[in-house]
Amino acid sequence: MGVTGKPEHGDLESSLLRSSSIPEDKYHLAYIIYFIIGLGYLLPWNIFINAVDYFSYLYPDVAVDRIFAVVYMVIGLVAVSLIIFYSHKSEAFVRINVGLGLFVVSLAVVPVLDAFYVMGRVGLYGGFYVTVLAVAISAVADALVQGSIVGSASLLPERYMQAVIAGTAGSGILVSVLRIFTKAVFSQDASGLRKSANLYFAVSIVIMFICTILYNIVHRLPVIKYYNQCKIQDEDTRPLTGSAWRSSVWDIVGSIKWYGFGIMLIYVVSLAIFPGYVTEDVHSQLLKDWYPVLLIAVYNLGDLVGKSFPAVYLLENAKIAIASCLARLAFFPLFLGCLHGPSFFRTEIPVTILTCLLGITGGYLTSVLMILTPKAVKLPYAEVAGIVSVLFLALGLAAGSVIAWFWVI
């Protein structure tokens, strides 16, 4: 049996037709839960990076942000790759719960270290190595949760995938709110940085517990149980195992490679510019050190708008979506013009508009392609297609982060 299929999941639709009624998602509760889980699984990485000022103060002799990025991305890529090839041997339900538990462990490391070992003292590099280990654990947790939740959402109606992707943008908004709050309330000295970091990690731990509870609730909701039961009852949805499974995985990669290319390109462009460019390369005499904070908030707001818009209008032409990803390469000369172009182009307004557009376009196209990708294969392989799309996303993040070091210098 081949892996390619119709734009819509024909197998799932045939199952639905055999049922007299589809349970209602009362109060949009399942949608809201998937949104919160999407917010949750991206939050730990955002928190580790958002607290980089605190870590750089404690460990001044190391490039904290770059080490965190390399560790997180390399381990995340390896973990997602393993999940792709062995996902048929484990349940997404188990992987997600394990991942959420690992998130709590990794996030708890920093405040525990601060309370019992570091205590705000500079240069205790044993604490740094333990923190890097926590980042590594968080990367494994991210692979388990993100890969599995996107994969499992691929077997549900598209609105739930859109909810997950929109939730990741909500994570950015939450972090921006926390950053603005701590900057306004706490002093920007050692004590203030310590209080800010502890607040970040405390909020994240609470949200991880909430995500764990909600995820274990959502599977008991009638609407989700219904779609899962349809998947099980359809005889054509029995997955392959062993060497046949590995062969099918490569077929899936071939079937969705252009979707994956588009997803990867989105994050190559976005990460090459954000956040490094907006935090280090542009400056404002008027807004001073609030300028990068506000630009980050503008980007995150645009990202949320973009990832939410497919709920209103979904672009179903994959070729146009992928071409639009290529068109976003125009952001490179535009942002370069904000550094070296005409005087008006180097003011706050053009930079803010471009930053907002970077977030909106990236968010919308990410949501569109993540929704369309599982539809490019037959239903038994939709979950793996979703996980593979996460691998392409991670490759884009890694490549974009590397390019960010060089392109504007």
DSSP sequence for 117-178: IITT-TT-HHHHHHHHHHHHHHHHHHHHHHHHHHHHHTTS-HHHHHHHHHHHHHHHHHHHHH
pLDDT greater at residue 404 or residue 237: 404
pLDDT at 3: 54
**Mean pLDDT along residues 82-105:** 90
Instruction: Output the CA–CA distances (angstroms, integers) from residue 229 to 103, 206, 237, 293, in the order listed.
Output: 29, 32, 11, 46
pLDDT at 278: 73
Token duo for residue 228: 């899962």
Distance between CA atoms of 224 and 248, rounded to whole angstroms? Answer: 27
- Report the sign of the C-alpha dihedral through residues 208, 211, 215, 220, in that order: positive
pLDDT digits (tens, 9 = 90+) for 246-271: 778 888 999 999 999 999 999 999 98
Q: Which of 312, 311, 355, 285 is nearest to 167 (CA)?
A: 311
Residue 241: pLDDT above 60?
no
pLDDT at 17: 46
Contact 118, 124 (CB under 8 A): yes
Under the banding of pLDDT at 50, 70 and 90, the label for residue 301 is very high
- Report the sign of the C-alpha dihedral through residues 79, 84, 304, 211, in that order: negative
- Say which range, 65-74, 91-100, 107-116, has the weakest mean pLDDT: 65-74
Q: pLDDT exceeding 70 applies to what percent of the chain?
A: 90
pLDDT at 293: 83
Tell me how long the chain is: 409
pLDDT digits (tens, 9 = 90+) for 108-136: 999 999 999 989 899 899 999 999 999 99
pTM, full prediction: 0.87
pLDDT at 6: 47
pLDDT at 105: 97
pLDDT digits (tens, 9 = 90+) for 26-62: 899 999 999 999 999 999 998 998 888 899 899 999 8
pLDDT at 91: 87
Q: Is 408 helix (H, G, I), strand (E, B) or coil?
A: coil
**Mean pLDDT along residues 293-304:** 91
**Mean pLDDT along residues 295-315:** 94
pLDDT greater at residue 274 or residue 395: 395
**Mean pLDDT along residues 274-303:** 82
pLDDT at 240: 53
pLDDT at 235: 43
Residue 409: pLDDT above 50?
no
Domains of the chain: 10-404 (1.20.1250.20)
Distance between CA atoms of 41 and 43, rounded to whole angstroms? Answer: 6
pLDDT at 11: 47
Under the banding of pLDDT at 50, 70 and 90, the label for residue 1 is very low
Mean pLDDT over each residue of the chain, to the nearest integer: 87
pLDDT greater at residue 247 or residue 323: 323
pLDDT digits (tens, 9 = 90+) for 129-185: 999 999 999 999 999 999 999 999 998 999 999 999 999 999 999 988 998 899 889
Residue 273: pLDDT above 50?
yes
Instruction: Output the CA–CA distances (angstroms, integers) from residue 337 to 270, 281, 331, in the order listed.
Output: 17, 12, 10
